[in-house]
Amino acid sequence: MIQYGKQLLSEADKQAVLSVLESDFLTQGPQIIQFEAELAQKVGAKFSVAVNSATSALHIACMALDLQPGDSLWTSPNTFVASANVAVWQGAKVDFVDIDPRTYNMSVEALEAKLEQAAKTHSLPKIVMPVHFAGQSCDMQAIYELSKKYHFKIIEDASHAIGAGYQDKMVGACEFSDITVFSFHPVKIITTAEGGVATSNNPDLVKKMQLFRSHGVTRDESLMDYDMETLSPDGGMWVYQQVALGLNYRMTEMQAALGLSQLTQLETFVDKRHQLAEVYNQALAELPLTLPYQQDFQRSSYHLYPIKLAEHLNRKTVFDKLREKGIGVNVHYIPVHTQPYYQKLGFKIGDFPNAEAYYQKAISIPLHPGLTEEDQQNVITNIKESLI
């Protein structure tokens, strides 16, 4: 099976993991600190906080921005369920903003219209979470301008988009957001097996996220509460305080070492994805498909290459034909609000028609840096045959 997405590991990547196993620290050691520093530098953010998944990163981002029962978070229906789930965990209300039918990203016009309505009923969101679908950045400046008018915070779910650009900066620089989150799951751009990171330029948010990823416990005296009587009034080296309620979302040293090694290949991986996408753009141009439309203020990381079938084509038929031929196609995404869990929360089919219409015709075809020319030609041939 030619997979739709897959990790590409070098000898250096494997050695990096092995050498950690020979070292003193398997967790909470020097690799994490270095990974956080190099990642922040790479994307142009002041800080980064590495954790055991992007889901965890999204969760501590919501916690740091104080998302609580009674608050709401709005995201895109065209995303993985985790984007919405983290807000539900905080007891907040989740709502969605329909997508732009060209980019499949949250529509800025739909966001503006929904905000205008919400302002009238005093139900504005505390957080808006745009998702950079397939690696293409949303129009963050436009969303940021709306945040000034309607006073919401912004978390970018950039799980697909490490290595992508927006205007003259990298996604993750947080020029137009409070926090940006990347995923390192093996199908994403670079991997740590499981893993994720939150970047930010705000030291207060970063301190909070560091606390929340590790039980709410600190050894940093500046974060400690000296008004409380503690059991260690003599302040010995063993002293730590729990000053908040956190979780254990820590990344291991092996993962951080793999991440550091993978990070050195980020540009190579993204360039390779662009080359492969260009081949698809040429080879599939004349077929009854809509190819991924690219806005010119951004440079995609091409996490996915979603094709949208013409109206007369049946998605299941085409999908099954491709799978039978060993082409590991996939579908991104079943709109989150149509999942049984979210329907039980009150959402209905028909609530976000653009996301639903896109989903009905979408197929993600194989795209990853290890895809050979031969395999790609095989994908192209089979797509052509499957549309007849």
> Nearer Cβ to ligand PLP, position 160 or 213?
160
What gap in Å lies between CA 137 and CA 11, rounded to an integer? Answer: 32
Q: Would you count residue 160 as binding ligand PLP (CB under 6 A)?
A: yes
Residues 6+ apart with CB under 8 A from 151: 124
Q: Would you count residue 55 as binding ligand PLP (CB under 6 A)?
A: yes
What gap in Å lies between CA 60 and CA 53, rounded to an integer? Answer: 11
**Closest to 359 measured CA to CA, from 376, 338, 382:** 338
Strand order, beta sheet including 305-309: 289-290, 305-309, 362-365
Q: Would you count residue 53 as binding ligand PLP (CB under 6 A)?
A: yes
> Nearer Cβ to ligand PLP, position 241 or 354?
354
Q: Would you count residue 131 as binding ligand PLP (CB under 6 A)?
A: yes
Q: Would you count residue 300 as binding ligand PLP (CB under 6 A)?
A: no
Helix H segments across the chain?
11-21, 30-43, 54-64, 82-89, 108-120, 140-150, 203-212, 253-263, 266-283, 315-324, 340-344, 353-361, 373-386
Question: What is the smallest separation between the CB atom of 274 and ligand PLP, expressed in angstroms?
Answer: 19
Q: Which of 7, 48, 72, 83 binds ligand PLP (CB under 6 A)?
A: 83
Asked whether the beta carbons of 63 and 90 are under 8 A apart, the reply is: yes
Given the rule CB under 6 A, which of 77-85, 108-116, 309-317, 323-331 is the region that contacts ligand PLP? Answer: 77-85
Given the rule CB under 6 A, which of 32-40, 52-60, 171-179, 277-285 is the region that contacts ligand PLP? Answer: 52-60
Region 183-202 residues binding ligand PLP, contact defined as CB under 6 A: 183, 185, 196
Pairing of strands 196-200, 47-51: antiparallel
Q: Would you count residue 180 as binding ligand PLP (CB under 6 A)?
A: no
> Nearer Cβ to ligand PLP, position 53 or 301?
53
Catalog residues that contact ligand PLP under the rule CB under 6 A: 53-55, 79-80, 82-83, 131, 157, 159-160, 183, 185, 196
